[in-house]
Amino acid sequence: MNKVVANAKEAIRLAGVRDGMTVMVGGFGLCGIPEHLIIALRDTGAKNLTVISNNAGIDDFGLGLLLQTRQIKKMVSTYVGENAIFEQQYLKGELEIEFVPQGTFAERIRAGGAGIPGFFTPTGVGTIIADGKETRVIDGREYVLERGLTADLALVKAHRGDKSGNLVYRKTARNFNPMMATAGRITIAEVEELVEVGTLDPDGIHTPGIYVNHIFCGDHYEKRIEQRTTRPRG
**Amino acid occupying residue 14:** L
Q: pLDDT at position 232, please? A: 85
Determine the average pLDDT of the residues in 160-165: 98
Summarize pLDDT for 38-63 with one digit per residue, the tens.
999 999 999 999 999 999 988 889 99
Secondary structure (3-state) at 86: helix
Q: pLDDT at position 194, please? A: 98
Domains of the chain (ranges; CATH) run 8-118+148-217 (3.40.1080.10)
Summarize pLDDT for 95-152 with one digit per residue, the tens.
999 999 999 999 999 999 999 999 999 999 999 999 999 999 999 999 999 999 999 9
Short-list 90, 231, 110, CA closest to 176: 110
Query: Helix, strand, coil proportions of the chain in percent (round to 5)?
Result: 25, 30, 45
Q: pLDDT at position 183, please? A: 98
Q: pLDDT at position 79, please? A: 87
**What pLDDT band is residue 2 in, cutting at 50, 70 and 90?**
confident
Q: pLDDT at position 70, please? A: 96
Q: pLDDT at position 197, please? A: 95
Q: pLDDT at position 29, please? A: 86
pTM: 0.94
Q: pLDDT at position 164, please? A: 97
User: Quick one: 170 exposed, middle or buried, by C-beta within 10 A (0-12, 13-18, 19+)?
Assistant: middle
Q: pLDDT at position 228, please? A: 76
Determine the average pLDDT of the residues in 66-92: 91
